[in-house]
Amino acid sequence: MKIAPQYRGDITPTGDLEPFRVAARDKVSSEAVRLLTERPHIEVTDDPTVTQAAIIRSATKYLTEGDLEAYQHLMYVARAGVGVDNIAMPLAAERGIATVNTPGASTDAVARRSLAHILSWASRVVQGTDALRKAQWPKNQPEVEPIDLSEKTLGIIGYGRIGRKTKEFAAPHFGRILYTDVRPVEGATDLETLLREADVVSINVSGKEEVLTSERIVTMKPTALIVNTARGTVVNTAALLQHLDQGGAAALDVYPKEGATMFEIPEVQGLTQHPNFLGTPHTAAADPVTQKKLGIEAAQRVIEFAEEGTVNPGNLPGHTLPRVSLRDTPSEDDNGNGGGNGSSEDQPRTRFVLTHPSVPGVLRTVTGIVAEAGENITGLDTKDGKIPTEPRLAMTMFDIPEQQIPKILAIRRKIEEALHPHRMRTLALGSE
């Protein structure tokens, strides 16, 4: 059986081999750290001056130039979580930093929270609990009368991983389920019809832009429940409060501003104190098991980048780069598409990975430099980013069979002199 060459370390500008260095921030799970430390040529460090990749949760912010000032070698950031609000994507793109998050690990937990909110609302748990605490027994009162969902319609806005899982979890409870998405999805309905016909609306979109505008909320049934486990900014807060005042309901895990200071906003305070509100403080994916899964997924993404240069293997939208990879057997992305042109060589090789501005002539320059050195490129992938920067970020990755350090360093120097890349790695792949 053929064994693919193994990562032996990064070749430094002086010709030495050094481990790939990762910062595990924000109390990422110990299991994630263990996975990293078990790899023979990966080192976990707290030193930002040597960090090449970072795993972060929500506490670390990369939102300003100052946040990145000490990270002169940072090339990959893995967010252990669904959102990436704590990373300024245009800034990361300008610095040549690839990004990825971990939506898969929290899918079940977030979908379960949506269903839990729906069932709590239908069972009138909040109203019943409040009455009992006041030593009241309102069994025959309308405010605690449960709602039978079997004749109700659930509408799901955003039919990605979490939306599909929400449908799966909720299907036994509802008489009908509608769903919509910005992408073409088989069986989807249009947003206007969904809002008009749904008794419960679950929002599972991936972005931060307002989806439930004031104009759209007024088209909904006046008694409809709005469930939001996506982002607080996707629902117009003033219109949502008005919806509650008119007999509707809201079940939220996310808010337009979060933390103790959010209650200083009159509309947020009005929501959380409203009798038709139920909510949780952004804890849908905060349980220890889900956090462990998120950390493990982030560590796996970093290991892939450390040992093979692969970024964003799931081709997740909203990141500084799409999928870039030279895997010999490319995995499929979310759309069923394969990866780059992987090398079929099983012999030792050197892999160059560089982020650079997307400008004409990069490939011509790289191939010319390699050819001038008397070498062949045995595998190549290059992709442009989608984040609007000027110029746009790109990544180029290629293999050459050469293992002689002087020639490798000469090629590297010429690429640096000709292209001035944002970041550059040279991976030694072979046997120990």
Find the DSSP H helices in 134-254. Answer: 161-170, 191-197, 214-217, 237-245
Average pLDDT over residues 150-176: 97
Pairwise CA distance, residues 337 & 372, whole Å: 34
Would you please indicate which residues are annotated as catalytic (active-site) residues?
A: 231, 258, 282
Tell me the average pLDDT across 23-27: 95
Please identify, in words, the CATH class of the domain defined by 6-105+289-430. alpha beta
Percent of the chain with pLDDT over 90: 88
Tokens, residue 72? 């002169």
Sequence-separated (6 or more) residues with CB below 8 Å from residue 28 = 55, 56, 57, 80, 295, 298, 299
351 forms beta bridges with 399, 427
Residue holding tokens 């449908």? 167
Question: What are the tens digits of pLDDT across the range 350-366?
Answer: 999 999 999 999 999 99
Give residue 432's pLDDT band: very low, low, confident or very high (50, 70, 90): low
Domain with CATH 3.40.50.720 in the chain: 6-105+289-430, 113-118+148-279
Task: Give the list of residues 6+ apart from residue 241 with CB closer than 8 angstroms, or none.
Answer: 267, 270, 271, 274
Q: How confident is the model at residue 390 (pLDDT cuts 50, 70, 90)?
A: confident
Using the predicted structure, report yes or no on whether residue 336 has a pLDDT greater than 70.
no
Give the mean model confidence (pLDDT) for residues 53-64. 95
pTM of the shown model = 0.84
What sign results for the dihedral spanned by CA atoms 157, 159, 163, 165?
positive
Cα–Cα distance, 120 to 282 (Å, whole number): 17
113-118+148-279 carries CATH number 3.40.50.150: no
Question: Is residue 293 over pLDDT 50?
Answer: yes
Segment 177-184 mean pLDDT: 96
Pick the closest to residue 403 from 350, 355, 356 (CA basis): 350
Of the pLDDT bands very low, low, confident and very high (cuts 50, 70, 90), residue 334 is: very low
Question: How high is the pLDDT of residue 146?
Answer: 96
Residue 344 above 50 pLDDT? no
Distances in Å between the Cα of 217 and the Cα atoms of 117, 177, 190, 226 are: 19, 19, 15, 9
Give the pLDDT score at 350: 97
pLDDT reading at 208 higher than 90: no
Could you report the per-residue pLDDT of 277-288, keeping only the tens digit for each?
Answer: 999 999 999 999
Confidence bin at 206 (pLDDT 50/70/90): confident
